[in-house]
Structures are given as C-alpha cells and as structure tokens.
Amino acid sequence: MGGRLTSALKFGFRGLLELIYGGGDNCIHCGAYAEKYLCTSCLKHIVFCSEGWNIEKSTKNYRCYSAVYYTNIVKELISGLKYRGDFNCGRVLIELMEEVIAKQKLKFDAVAYVPMTLRRERLRGYNQSRYLAKALAENHGVTLIEDVVKSRETVDQIGLDGVQRWLNLENSFTATGEKHIVGKHILLVDDVITTGATSFYCALALEEKGADEIIILTAAKSSI
C-alpha cells in the first residue's frame, strides 16, 4: 500500500487543461476516448464553485473554498478515490483543487487534513483526505501536518440533518505536535463539505494549538 501511494503521488500540477489534453486514454467516468482522464462531454457536467464562503459558529469564523459542486460525476470521482483506490480520480480532484488555489491566490505554509479514527482508516485502507493533502503539500513544497486526530468514533453523517451533524462531531477532534502548528498558515483539506461541521471542528483544534490562520479547501461542496 505504501509503495502504491508514493508512486501515485509523484505527479506535477499542469493546470485544468490537463484534464482534457495530455495523455491519450479512455475517460475514467464514461469510457469514451479522452486525451486525459475526462472527455470533453463529461467535463461539461462538472459545475465549478466560483466563490468562497465563511463557516461560522459562536465567535469563530473560517474561510472555506471548494473546487466543484457534488454532482453525479464528481460523486463518482470521489467514490472512485475513496472506496476503490482509483488514483486517476484523485489526480483529477487535485488538479481541480489546484485551480482554486491559483484563482484565489491562497497562501499557506502547511497543509493539514481531516482525519479518520484509526479503526475506520484500517477498515478502508487509507484516508482519501490525506492523499489529497499530501499531494497538495508536495506540489507547493510545504509541510504536511499529521497532528490532527479524531479522538472518538461518531455515527455516519449520512442521514443526519444539519443540527445533528454539528452535535455528532462536537469535541471529536484534537491536535497535538504544537511545534508543527504554532504560527502556521494552514490549508485544511477534505474531500466533500456539507454543513462544514467536520472542517470547522478540525480547524478549531488547529487554532487552539496555535495556528495563525486556517483556510479550508475541499474538492467538492454538497448541501443537505
């Protein structure tokens, strides 16, 4: 697993056009001919997020960006990475996220990710959010922070309403290793955001350990 992950991460960001032009293969979504990863027809069904927004609770406020909306094709890309270990799907998501970083001129000197409990990560085999974060950290030559942990099991967020999602995740994340966090401008990465509860509590854990700024970036944005 370690070797496969390492080799899968060794690629450079070459811009959104690389989703169409660049290698000669079949579309990873529909199987039609594509120059690289996605055919032009499938790419047309991706809906891009144009602006960021704030996730607020009590007196805390974190800026958040997503690359695209959680449409059917994006759902398939995330499922491919998350459950089948399809790193071509992951490469597409990373390049989409890089577009946001470039467009919004996001500045950061470290990258963190939303963790899973050790039990759940062992069941799945790896953490897809860590995969995305590690690639972005390598692309930008910054530190990958491994110090946010999910300290307790929570029920699956699927099927919960907005209030239940926030209650479910409250006090479930902690951060350690202050020397990697204090004073840092951190990009916090996850695959999908819905209410923002998961990202908020991870960002809060980083702030409580001394992070100077946390910006949240996800591959996709969903809604309840």
Going from N- to C-terminal start, the domains of the chain cover 2-221
Tell me what pLDDT residue 106 has: 97
Tell me what pLDDT residue 151 has: 77
Tell me what pLDDT residue 22 has: 46
Q: How far apart are CA 26 and CA 130, in angstroms?
A: 27
Q: In 3D, which of 182, 185, 218 has the Cα closest to residue 109?
A: 185
Tell me what pLDDT residue 111 has: 98
Beta bridge mates, 220? 68, 192
Tell me what pLDDT residue 11 has: 34
Confirm if 46 and 16 have CB atoms less than 8 A apart. no
Tokens at residue 221, please? 């944005």
Tell me what pLDDT residue 118 has: 79
Overall pTM surpassing 0.95 (yes/no): no
User: pLDDT truncated to tens, each residue of the chain (224 aa)?
Assistant: 443 333 333 333 344 444 544 445 789 888 898 888 899 899 989 999 989 999 998 889 999 999 999 999 999 999 999 888 889 999 999 999 999 999 999 999 999 999 988 787 787 788 999 999 999 999 999 999 999 998 776 656 566 656 777 777 777 889 988 889 999 999 999 999 988 989 999 999 999 999 999 999 999 998 64
CATH number belonging to the domain at 2-221, selected among 3.40.250.10, 3.90.76.10, 3.40.470.10, 3.40.50.2020: 3.40.50.2020
Query: Counting every residue, how long is the chain?
Result: 224
Residue 80's CB: how many other CB atoms inside 10 A? 20
Tokens at residue 74, please? 């994006």
Q: How far apart are CA 37 and CA 194, in angstroms?
A: 26
Tell me what pLDDT residue 204 has: 95
Q: H-helix or E-strand containing 84? A: helix 72-84
Spell out a b/e string for 90-101, using b for 16 or more CB atoms within 10 Å of the CB, else e: bbbbbbbbbbbb
Tell me what pLDDT residue 155 has: 58
- Calculate Rg over the CA atoms of the chain: 17
Q: Side by side, which strands form the sheet with 213-221?
A: 53-57, 60-69, 213-221, 185-193, 110-113, 143-144
